[in-house]
Amino acid sequence: MVRWSKALRGLDRFTDAVRAAGAEMVLHGHSHQGTFSTIPGSEIPVIGVTSASHRSGHSLKRAAGWNRISIHREDASWEITVNSRRLAPDGQLHDFRTTRFTRPTKESVL
Using CA atoms, how far residue 82 sits from 9, 12, 65, in Å, is 27, 26, 13
Helix (H) or strand (E) holding 14: helix 11-21
Pick from 11-15, 62-66, 93-97: least confident? 62-66
Q: Report how far residue 29's alpha carbon sits from residue 18's, in angstroms, rounded to the nearest whole number.
A: 18
For 75, other C-beta atoms within 10 Å of its C-beta total: 7
Q: pTM here?
A: 0.76
pLDDT tens by residue, 34-76? 888 899 999 999 998 887 777 666 677 778 888 999 999 998 8
pLDDT value for 35: 84
Percent of the chain topping pLDDT 70: 85
pLDDT value for 27: 92
Closest to 99 measured CA to CA, from 26, 53, 52, 37:
37
Domain locations along the chain: 4-109
pLDDT value for 109: 61
